[in-house]
Amino acid sequence: MRRKYYLEDLPLDAAWQRFQAALDRVEAGRALPAERVSLAEAGGRITAEPFWARLSSPHYHAAAMDGVAVRAAETVGATETTPCQLVIGQQARWIDTGDPLPLEMDAVIMAEHVQTLDDERIEIRAAVAPWHHVRSLGEDMVATELVVPENHRLRPVDLGALAAAGHADVAVYRRPRVAIIPTGAELVTVEAAQTAALQPGAIIEFNSLMLAGQVAEWGGSATRQSPVPDRREVLREAITAAVNEYDIVVVNAGSSAGAEDYTAAVLAELGEVAVHGVAIRPGHPLILAVVQGKPVLGLPGYPVSTVLTAELFLRSLIYRMQGQTAPRRPTVNAIMSRKVLSPMGEDEFLRVTLGQVDDRVVATPLIRGAGIVSSLVRADGLVQIPRFSEGVHAGAPVTVDLLRDPAELASTIVAIGSHDLALDLLASHMRHIVPDARLSSANVGSLGGLMALKRRDAHLAGSHLLDEETGVYNHSFVARLLPDEDILLVNLAYREQGLIVLPDNPQQLHSLADLTHPEVRFVNRQKGSGTRVLLDYHLKQNGLHTEQIAGYDREEFTHMAVAAAVLSGTATVGLGIRAAARALGLAFIPLFKERYDLVVPRRHWESVRLTPLRQTLESDAYREAVAALGGYDVSDMGKLM
């Protein structure tokens, strides 16, 4: 029997409206029933009813200070020159903070303002007004007064107020229970991956970890279920069982139109599929369904698509089931650092890093692949590129939905330029010195970094551009591209560049000339990178032509990506740094030693913002860590070149 599947192309708003209508038809997705919990368990929960004070607070007239309780009328006339004497027990009574005020008294005088004459008499040198230093009954709350309203998220201070008003427990909306069902026979747990080598085709299942964390952050309670293989009946049984027990069911993967993607078909058999396919990127094959009065979401399997579609749809649903509207994330206005082309007809959610450079916030796009989970880790925010806009021009203003605390922008150093593993270490070691310091890096190559400085999009750029005429690194490029800037070249390290090959060097490659052998498949760095410039220089010096090298036009943006290509077998050799080869257990044939500098405008180098970076470059611990990577000479680290 032929499977029936379909993918629509609904606009984002239309998809949510259709899902909403499907939920409303069966009265699903509404606020859950209330449950009573103790105040100790109520933090962060949403009140299901208003709470009124059962008691006044305080419920008696209480002393606000340590001292003596008096009748204010009997202190009239007391001054420094005409002190007043009061009799203990009759006109004054010693009292501590919080003690009930004696019925016949109406004021308290601080102990520091009382002079004891003997066991029976005290002397005061200033009159007091009635109710001076007294917390009168109901000063904080009066019985029957509203303490917290319905649909209120309980904060620590609210819990204290409720206790003071005489409540020991509260009625709150039950947390939405969410079942997360990963699908795919290829999935293995991270625990299993630690005890046995991963086989080709096996994938560590981590989407459910991210989803469960999101659910908890939004106030729900998630249960991660064991992965379900791509078999229709097994998936049907898992969804049916989950719908019977949970408030929301999330099926992760199997939402597209592949040969083993059964989620849409199974949900159509069990209930109503309201939406299958939303015009967003990433996340197009999203499924929104209702089964037995319960919302069921089929989220795409790529991790970025999983997180984004959960943010767009699951988040709102969980808040709604707690009687809340999902809060808007904080936003910031920024300038896009480079041109971004976007597909027509889809709302694209672009991950960006952010940093404040001079008087502007700069947004730098990250790698856009739906499977690049590391881009989520590095992302500071999301830029929504509307349908039919075709993209965003460099320098164009954009609104960024923040994924971090806005205050972090003030301590972020923006580095755009050549990739180096030492920069990754720099970001970590800076936080040893200043815990809230951040280094935001974008890998666009050395020339790209200098152009970013020219546009004033970065605080610094990593560069290792060799001048073919002079043999000197970086100087001529800076002079030509940044003639009007006061620029400093700060050495990060000298590093070895060479051929990265499989262990034991099976093709016995030893020089650039060997790259021209017919059986060699080369992987290159992108145009504008220092490594590409270095390669071209030495090819020219050796009389070699790029057309002779199979794979010369294949580009990667980092040294680690080059090494990964060799390790995976998609290339047999690449040019890169020793540290990248060493990190992946590959062989390295050294060819050149080069200088890698940080190119920094003086106004940034001398700023408070870059203080953590300057201190880190002077740190023995950081120098030792870089040297330990292999292939680095740190003797001039931090030196102005």
User: Which tokens hold the place of 461?
Assistant: 């750029």
Express each pLDDT in 10-47 by its tens digit.
999 999 999 999 999 988 888 999 999 999 999 999 99
Superfamily name with CATH number, domain 34-57+140-173: Molybdopterin biosynthesis moea protein, domain 2 (3.90.105.10)
Beta strand pairing status for 438-443 and 522-525?
unpaired
Highest-pLDDT range among 412-426, 427-441, 610-624: 610-624
Kindly report the backbone phi and psi dihedral angles of residue 438, in degrees, each rounded to the nearest multiple of 5, phi listed first.
Answer: -135, 140
Ranges of H-type helices in 134-261: 156-164, 190-195, 207-217, 232-245
The interaxial angle of helices 232-245 and 263-270, nearest 10 deg, is 50
User: Which tokens hold the place of 172?
Assistant: 């709150």
Instruction: Spell out the long-range contacts of 474-477 with Cβ–Cβ below 8 A and sequence spacing 24 or more.
Output: 474/446, 474/595, 474/597, 474/599, 474/641, 477/446, 477/447, 477/450
Q: What is the DSSP letter of 35?
A: E
CB atoms under 10 Å from CB of 186, counted, come to 15
Express each pLDDT in 377-389 by its tens digit.
888 999 999 988 8
User: Which tokens hold the place of 552?
Assistant: 């010369």
Q: What is the DSSP letter of 226?
A: P
Q: Classify domain 456-633 at the CATH topology level.
A: D-Maltodextrin-Binding Protein; domain 2 (3.40.190)
User: Which tokens hold the place of 289?
Assistant: 């369904």
pLDDT at 45: 95
pLDDT at 196: 76
Express each pLDDT in 145-155 by its tens digit.
999 999 999 99
The mean per-residue pLDDT over the stretch 441-458 comes to: 90
Torsion angle in degrees (nearest 10) through CA of 214, 220, 226, 231: -90
Confidence check: pLDDT of 6 > 80:
no
Kindly report the backbone phi and psi dihedral angles of residue 312, in degrees, each rounded to the nearest multiple of 5, phi listed first.
Answer: -80, -35
Residue that the structure tokens 């806009």 belong to? 389
Kindly report the backbone phi and psi dihedral angles of residue 415, in degrees, each rounded to the nearest multiple of 5, phi listed first.
Answer: -115, 120
Confidence check: pLDDT of 4 > 50:
no
The mean per-residue pLDDT over the stretch 539-563 comes to: 92
pLDDT at 288: 96
Express each pLDDT in 70-85 by its tens digit.
999 999 999 999 999 9
User: Which tokens hold the place of 560?
Assistant: 């680690």
Burial 147-156 (b: 16+ CB within 10 A, else e): bbeebbbbee
Superfamily name with CATH number, domain 12-31+176-320: MoaB/Mog-like domain (3.40.980.10)
Nearest alpha-carbon partner for 291 in 236, 340, 362, 363: 236
Q: Does residue 14 sit in helix, strand or coil?
A: helix
Q: Given pLDDT bands bounded at 50, 70 and 90, which one contains residue 257?
A: low
pLDDT at 32: 93
Confidence check: pLDDT of 3 > 50:
no
**pTM exceeds 0.85, yes or no:** no
Kindly report the backbone phi and psi dihedral angles of residue 327, in degrees, each rounded to the nearest multiple of 5, phi listed first.
Answer: -70, 145
pLDDT at 418: 87
The mean per-residue pLDDT over the stretch 319-341 comes to: 92
Domain ranges of the chain: 12-31+176-320, 34-57+140-173, 62-135, 347-443, 456-633
Ranges of H-type helices in 257-372: 263-270, 303-309, 315-320
State the DSSP H helix or E strand holding residue 108, giving kind and residue range, or none if neither. Answer: strand 107-110
**How many CA atoms lie less than 13 Å away from 494 in the CB half-sphere?**
9
State the DSSP H helix or E strand holding residue 463, giving kind and residue range, or none if neither. Answer: strand 461-463
pLDDT mean across residues, the chain: 91
Confidence check: pLDDT of 366 > 90:
no
Q: Residue 439 pairs with which residues in a beta bridge?
A: 413
The mean per-residue pLDDT over the stretch 396-404 comes to: 94
65-69, 268-272, 367-371: which range is least confident on average?
Answer: 367-371
Confidence check: pLDDT of 437 > 80:
yes
Task: Give the contacts of 419 (CB within 8 A, at least 6 positions apart).
Answer: 441, 443, 462, 557, 558, 559, 560
Q: Classify domain 62-135 at the CATH topology level.
A: Molybdopterin biosynthesis moeA protein; domain 3 (2.170.190)
Q: Given pLDDT bands bounded at 50, 70 and 90, which one contains residue 256?
A: low
Nearest alpha-carbon partner for 553 in 568, 571, 541: 571
CB atoms under 10 Å from CB of 92, counted, come to 24
Nearest alpha-carbon partner for 567 in 589, 586, 590: 586
The mean per-residue pLDDT over the stretch 419-440 comes to: 90
∠496-499-500 over CA atoms, to 5°? 100
